[in-house]
Amino acid sequence: MAKRRATSADVARLAGVSRTTVSFVLNDRADARIGAATRSRVHQAADRLGYRAHGPARQLAAGATRTLGLVLRRSAEQVAIDPLLPETLRGLTDQARAAGYRVQVEPLWAEPGAILDLLRSGEVDGLVISGPRIEDEALDGLDDPAADELPIVVHGSLPGSGLPSIDVDNVTGARQAVEHLITLGHRDIACITNAPLTYTSARERLEGYRAALGATGIPAEPALEAIGGFDPPSGSRAMTELLGRAVDFSAVFVAGDSVALGAIAALREAGRRVPRDISIVGFDDIPLAAYLDPPLTTVRLPARELGALAGRILLDRLQAIAVPARTLLATRLMVRGSAVAPTAATAAAVVLMGR
């Protein structure tokens, strides 16, 4: 059996430093603030393991491109309907421009290992990967030597990758939404996720929904949970599915506002009024949320701040500055008109979750 090739992670463990520090030392980044003793430890560890820096990565380490890549792990349709993407991109672009970088947006579809071409291209100095699935074949190339040298930040979560990541506090935000419904007097609360459960945000928002119920002694009922998927049609399908089950609910937490749009439409088509018959709380606070009839009570996601945070962390990594393994931004409940106390005549409540 062939001997496994050493990686920068192996060098980092042996030298007691980060992978970014290893990259900057071995790629001769003179602008990185790294002491002589640390540089010596890294070189000794690399020599002991027989590790050599990847060729294209050495060009990147020189900062020749002055370009940051934003990899969108979504379909063209998902990108087109994402109302928060412009704000996220603006936050990232503002940070990049202030440091003398430009941002190159790279849609990345589902082909296994699709990220490899970008990693080996030498076109970017660092990457932000936005919206990966929990197990994502398109990102299989992240164990390639080229990825070993390139600073990467994940917007979302990529368990087991060892890469720094950022996100909103999905669990707490979902709890805020459901606790608001409970405070209003609802007990039979349904949930529609913002995405399939192959996405961390969907799992975390579902976790927050269940945690809020459990904290009040309300058992989670599988029959009150339905899977949504990014867009209004998925919300309509999920709500229709809930209404067709032999369960009563007076409120719904929809984990994504775009999904909630379709859920509300399905309720109206079924003759259910929002909020008189069924209360709705969403997640994301898309620009349209405040202008619906009734205005949507939802959880605000700080999209521009997320983009800016991704930019700051990536720029710090480019300067060999230590960064947190995971950073979460707080959400905020926006109370509007789509959720009220249940009436005696109320027979159903559904909870819709977001992206």
Domain boundaries along the sequence of the chain: 8-53, 61-168+304-331, 170-301+333-353
Q: pTM for this one?
A: 0.80
DSSP 271-332: T--TTTT-EEE-SB--TTGGGSSSPPBEEE--HHHHHHHHHHHHHHHHTT----SEEEE--E
Of 20-24, 230-234, 297-301, 312-316, the one with minimum mean pLDDT is: 20-24
Q: Helix crossing, 19-26 with 36-49: angle to 10°?
A: 90
Separation CA 195–CA 289 (nearest Å): 19
Cβ 306 vs Cβ 91: under 8 Å? yes
Residue 348 predicted with pLDDT over 60: no
Q: Do domains 61-168+304-331 and 170-301+333-353 have the same CATH topology?
A: yes
| Range 170-301+333-353 has CATH code 3.40.50.2300 | yes
Measuring CA to CA, which residue among 191, 354, 171 is closest to residue 259?
354
Residue range 127-133: mean pLDDT, rounded? 85
What does the pLDDT look like over 297-316, one tens digit per residue?
A: 999 999 999 999 999 999 99
| Range 61-168+304-331 has CATH code 3.40.190.80 | no
More confident: 191 or 30: 191
Cβ 171 vs Cβ 196: under 8 Å? no
Q: Mean pLDDT for the chain? A: 86
- Assigned architecture for domain 8-53: Orthogonal Bundle (1.10)
